[in-house]
């Protein structure tokens, strides 16, 4: 069944971050559904993204639109998500991390590339197989004030997944199931008839999480799930998400701009810049041994809640702004703001791979980094 020749990796062939995809050739819809429903061992890849591209066309004209360019929101990224882990994706606004979430949820059509869920390319699925995927990949949204329909009661919101996938819970059972879910996320089950606006931000995010859990999914994509919440409530929601991960054996993709929270919750972290993955590795590799200059600048810019550190902490202050994704720089996309940039950076796009100098060396710095001049630099502990 496996057909490794089918997916060529033009860019990241050597990257160990991405394992070989075992494509399951499903000849019928039921075979595809069966493959999607099959269990995955802990630590095995469950979601594999290959050379994912999303370009939003820029058009002119009223009735007959012609394309005048494209916003390259996501421009060829590859990564794996392993069963039971949390993969954090960080980056600044406009780096494409939220577009990745939408592509994974199939809310946007990918321009190119594949997303394999248990060996099935979900960008090509439809019908029953697609519905099965939808059941297994759920999402938690950023803004708890807009992600719940204000005209529906909490019971209707959390129960809606059962209306759409009636096979999951028989009709008579649904109210009880909804109340169970409310209980699981730490809300009073008696609140079932209330409307979203009667809850605070943290409670609404719990409702959103309960909706995400309703269908017993395997993967949950979290797009900035706590950034709209108050500091004292953020910790509650993070703890809840960690507890649920253990309880329901979930795999998370955790997209956020808050680097401290991402480190706390993630097993592995990917750093995105202008639609490309700059660096990816375990949390220790990225935070304590970053080799990409962008990661280093990003980490050094995070304000640390320790006033004693402010005098002797080294800060890399980047100049300028992120270039427009409609017209990204040639070669390395970070070169316009990079202090190490040389001619080579403008001519040659650095591949996401373990840098030459670290290859075969047993060091945490030996992880994939898309930089010609990758160099380890600890900016977080510098004192």
Q: Of 11 and 335, which has the nearer Cβ to another protein?
A: 335
The residues facing 79 across adjacent strands are: 49
Q: Of 202 and 355, which has the nearer Cβ to another protein?
A: 202
CA 87, 46, 99, 221 dihedral sign is negative
Q: Of 215 and 365, which has the nearer Cβ to another protein?
A: 215
Q: Of 220 and 280, which has the nearer Cβ to another protein?
A: 220
Closest CB 5 distance from another protein, rounded Å = 32
Please state, in angstroms and as integers, the Cα–Cα distance from residue 162 to each residue in 33, 129, 156, 215, 364, following that order: 18, 17, 10, 7, 45
By CB under 8 A, tell whether 259 contacts another protein: yes
Q: Angle, nearest 10°, between helix axes 127-136 and 29-37?
A: 10
Q: Which of 36, 81, 148, 244 binds another protein (CB under 8 A)?
A: 148
Q: Which of 260, 327, 330, 359 binds another protein (CB under 8 A)?
A: 260
Burial 54-86 (b: 16+ CB within 10 A, else e): bbbeeeeeeeeeeeeebbbbbbbbbbbbbbbbb
Judge contact between 193 and 155, C-beta under 8 A.
yes
Q: Using the rule CB under 8 A, give the single segment among 17-25, 32-40, 50-58, 144-152 that binds another protein.
A: 144-152
Closest CB 381 distance from another protein, rounded Å = 5
Q: Using the rule CB under 8 A, give the single segment among 18-26, 135-143, 170-178, 365-373 that binds another protein.
A: 135-143
- The Cα–Cα gap between 195 and 177 comes to 18
Q: Which of 177, 257, 340, 357 binds another protein (CB under 8 A)?
A: 257
Residues 189-208 binding another protein (CB under 8 A) are 193-195, 197-203, 208
Closest CB 275 distance from another protein, rounded Å = 15
Q: Of 12 and 212, which has the nearer Cβ to another protein?
A: 212
Residues 157-186 binding another protein (CB under 8 A) are 160-161, 163-165, 186
Judge contact between 23 and 39, C-beta under 8 A.
no
Residues 54-93 binding another protein (CB under 8 A) are 62-63, 65, 92-93
Judge contact between 60 and 239, C-beta under 8 A.
no
Q: Which of 86, 142, 291, 369 binds another protein (CB under 8 A)?
A: 142
Closest CB 169 distance from another protein, rounded Å = 14
Judge contact between 17 and 34, C-beta under 8 A.
no
Phi, psi of 75 (to 5 degrees): -130, 65
Q: Which of 33, 40, 74, 105 binds another protein (CB under 8 A)?
A: 105
Matching residue, tokens 């702004």: 321
Residues 264-303 binding another protein (CB under 8 A) are 264, 283-284, 287-288, 297-299, 301-303
Closest CB 151 distance from another protein, rounded Å = 4
Q: Tell me, by CB under 8 A, how many residues bind another protein.
A: 88
Q: Using the rule CB under 8 A, give the single segment among 109-117, 168-176, 244-252, 260-268 that binds another protein.
A: 260-268
- The Cα–Cα gap between 289 and 333 comes to 22
By CB under 8 A, tell whether 312 contacts another protein: no
DSSP-assigned letters across all residues of 274-312: TTEEEEEEEHHHHHHS--SHHHHHHHHHSPPS-TTHHHH
Among 86, 99, 47, CA closest to 276:
99
The residues facing 58 across adjacent strands are: 69
Q: Using the rule CB under 8 A, give the single segment among 8-16, 130-138, 244-252, 360-368 that binds another protein.
A: 130-138
Q: In this structure, what is the dihedral angle of CA atoms 151, 200, 96, 366, given to the nearest 10 degrees?
A: -140
Judge contact between 252 and 245, C-beta under 8 A.
yes
Residues 206-245 binding another protein (CB under 8 A) are 208, 211, 215, 230-236, 238-239, 242
Phi, psi of 310 (to 5 degrees): -70, -25
Closest CB 14 distance from another protein, rounded Å = 29
Q: Of 14 and 316, which has the nearer Cβ to another protein?
A: 316
Q: Of 63 and 171, which has the nearer Cβ to another protein?
A: 63
Residues 315-334 binding another protein (CB under 8 A) are 315, 317-322
């Amino acid at each position: 069944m496996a057909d490794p020749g089918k997916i060529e990796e033009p860019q990241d062939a050597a990257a160990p971050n991405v394992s070989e995809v075992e494509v399951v050739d499903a000849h019928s819809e039921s075979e595809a559904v069966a493959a999607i429903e099959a269990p995955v061992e802990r630590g095995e890849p469950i979601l594999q993204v290959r050379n994912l591209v999303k370009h939003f066309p820029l058009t002119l004209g009223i009735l007959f639109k012609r394309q005048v360019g494209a916003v390259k929101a996501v421009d060829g990224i590859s990564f794996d998500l392993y069963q039971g882990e949390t993969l954090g994706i960080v980056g600044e606004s406009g780096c494409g991390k939220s577009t990745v979430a939408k592509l994974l949820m199939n809310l946007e059509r990918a321009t190119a590339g594949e997303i394999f869920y248990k060996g099935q390319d979900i960008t090509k699925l439809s019908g029953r197989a697609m519905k099965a995927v939808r059941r297994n990949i759920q999402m938690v949204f950023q803004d708890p004030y807009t992600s719940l329909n204000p005209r529906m009661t909490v019971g209707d919101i959390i129960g809606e997944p059962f209306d759409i996938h009636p096979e999951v819970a028989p009709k008579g059972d649904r109210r009880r199931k909804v109340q169970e879910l409310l209980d699981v996320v730490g809300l009073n089950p008696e609140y079932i008839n209330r409307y979203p606006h009667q809850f605070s931000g943290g409670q609404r995010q719990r409702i959103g999480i309960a909706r995400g859990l309703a269908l017993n999914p395997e993967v949950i994509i979290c797009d900035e799930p706590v950034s709209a919440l108050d500091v004292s409530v953020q910790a509650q929601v993070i703890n809840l998400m960690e507890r649920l991960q253990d309880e329901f054996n979930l795999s998370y993709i955790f997209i956020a701009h808050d680097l401290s929270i991402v480190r706390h919750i993630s097993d592995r972290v990917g750093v995105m810049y202008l639609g490309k993955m700059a660096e990816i590795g375990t949390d220790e590799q990225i935070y304590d041994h970053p080799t990409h200059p962008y990661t280093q600048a990003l980490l050094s810019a995070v304000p640390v809640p320790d006033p004693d550190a402010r005098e002797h902490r080294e800060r890399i202050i980047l100049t300028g702004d992120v270039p427009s994704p409609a017209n990204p720089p040639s070669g390395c996309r970070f070169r316009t703001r990079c202090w190490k940039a040389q001619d080579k950076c403008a001519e040659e796009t650095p591949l996401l791979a373990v840098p030459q100098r670290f290859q075969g060396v047993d060091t945490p710095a030996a992880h994939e980094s898309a930089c010609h001049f990758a160099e380890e630099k600890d900016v977080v502990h510098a004192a």
